[in-house]
Structure 1
Amino acid sequence: MKMTIAATVLALLAAGSARAAVIDAQPSGFEIRHEVVVAAPASVVWATLVQPSKWWVSAHTWSGASANLSLGAASGGCFCERLPNGGSVLHMTTVYAAPGQKLVLSGALGPLQTSGASGALTVLLAEKDGQTTVTVTYDVGGYFKGGLDKLAAPVDGVVGQQVAGLKAAAEGPQGLK
C-alpha cells in the first residue's frame, strides 16, 4: 500500500524527534532536509545506511524490490539496482564517504534520472549519548520540464519515507551490523 505524502510526514513526526522540510524550491532547483534521532550508535546507523536493501522502500525502486539495491560506500562507489534480464540502474555515485560520519552521493533519483537535473544527497551522522542524529539533505538543480519546484514536495515525501525506513532498520530488534 502506498503512503500519501501527508501520511508520510505524519508518520515521521510521530516517530519522535523527526523534522522534514522543503528548504527552498524554485524552477531551477530545490533543497530538502530531514533530521531524525536514531536510538543507536553511529556505527550501527552507518552499517545500516550502507545496506539500502534493508531499509529502502520497495515501491520506490525500478525493479519493485529493495533487495536489488546495493551501495558502494567509497568514493566512486555505486548506489545501484539490479533489474531483470541483466539490466541495471545507477541511481547515484558516492563522492565522499567517512564511515560513521558522512556520506555524499551525486546523481538523480526516480523521475529526475530522465531529465537534465542532478543533485547531491548528503547524510550526516552525529552521535551523542548512544543516539545518532541523522541529517539528510538533497540539493537538486538543472532542467526539468515545468520546473523542479513542482517536484520538491513529492521528492521530500519519498526521501522522508527512506529516512523513516533507515531509522526503523537501525533501531530494529538487533540493529544491523
Structure 2
Amino acid sequence: MKRLLFALAAVAVAGAARAEVTDRSPAGFEVVEKATIAAPSSKVWDALMRPAKWWSSQHTFSGDAKNLFIDPAGCFCERLKKGAARHMDIVYADGATMLRLSGALGPLQATGASGHLSYALKPVGEQTEVTLSYDVGGYVKGGVESFATPVDKVLGEQLARLKKAIETGKPD
C-alpha cells in the first residue's frame, strides 16, 4: 500500500511545475520554470496571450488581474485608475512556440534592473512543455540577487496558474 501511495505521489508531482533559480550574483540572476500542460500548444499560446485570465491579482499594481492585457503593439500592460503600467515589451513572438519580452517586473521597475522573460512552448503529443526563463541584471542597491528567490516564487505561481487555467478552466 505504501508503494502504491508513493507511486501515485510521484506521478502527481511529475506533471507539476518545476522551478529553480539557476544562477545568481550581485549583478543578476536567472530563474527557470517548467511545466507540462495537458493541452495542444495552440491552446497554450492563446491562453498565454490573455494574462487577465490566469495571472494572480496579488501580483498586479491595480489589485485586479482583469486589468492586464497584451496589446497589438506588443505591450504587456495594466490599466490603472489614473494611468497605466507597462510591465514588458514583446520583442519576439512567433505565434506558436516562442514569446520573448523585455522589461522589469513588479518592484524591479523601481530599480536600475532590466530583464528578459521568455516562454518556450514545445508540443509533445497532445501536451505542451512550457519553459519560462527570466534573466535579470542591472543596478540594484545591495545587489539584484536578493530578488531572485521572490521572483522565482512569483513566476512559478504564475506558470502553475496558467497550467491550471488551461486544464481546468480556473486558475485558482
TM-score, normalised with respect to structure 2 = 0.88
Query: RMSD in angstroms over aligned alpha carbons?
Result: 1.6
2:97 to 98, 101, 115: 101
How far apart are residue 16 of structure 1 and its match?
Answer: 2.3
In 2, Cα distance between equivalents of 1:157 and 1:14: 17
TM-score, normalised with respect to structure 1 = 0.86
Greater gyration radius: 2
Q: Give every structure 1 segment of 4 or more consecutive aligned residues whose post-TM-superposition deviation is greater than 4 Å.
A: none
How far apart are residue 14 of structure 1 and its match?
Answer: 4.4
In 2, Cα distance between equivalents of 1:61 and 1:45: 22
Structure-1 residue corresponding to 2:7 = none
**Equivalent position SS for 2:128:** strand
Deviations 1:85-131 (A, max 9, x none): 3x100000000001120000000000100100000000000011110
Structure-1 residue corresponding to 2:75 = 78
Structure-2 residue corresponding to 1:65 = 64
Which residue identity lines up with residue 61 of structure 2 in the other structure? W
Matched, 1:35 2:34: yes
In 2, Cα distance between equivalents of 1:24 and 1:47: 30
In 2, Cα distance between equivalents of 1:21 and 1:136: 11
Matched, 1:114 2:114: no
Question: In 1, are the aligned partners of 2:17 and 2:156 still within 8 Å (CA)?
Answer: no
Deviations 1:64-103 (A, max 9, x none): 000000013x6x5100000013x10000000000112000
In 1, Cα distance between equivalents of 2:110 and 2:130: 29
In 2, Cα distance between equivalents of 1:113 and 1:15: 34
**Equivalent position SS for 1:159:** helix
CA gap of 1:126–1:63, structure 2 versus 1, over 3 A, is: same
Q: Which runs of 5+ in 1 are unaligned?
A: 1-12
In 1, Cα distance between equivalents of 2:52 and 2:142: 32
Structure-2 residue corresponding to 1:53 = 52
Q: Which runs of 5+ in 2 are unaligned?
A: 1-11
**Equivalent position SS for 2:39:** coil
Structure-2 residue corresponding to 1:19 = 18
In 1, Cα distance between equivalents of 2:64 and 2:13: 26
In 1, Cα distance between equivalents of 2:14 and 2:102: 28
**Equivalent position SS for 2:42:** helix
1:146 to 130, 142, 148: 142
How far apart are residue 153 of structure 1 and its match?
Answer: 0.4
Which residue identity lines up with residue 139 of structure 1 in the other structure? D
Matched, 1:163 2:171: no
Deviations 1:21-74 (A, max 9, x none): 0000111100000000000000000000000000000000000000000013x6
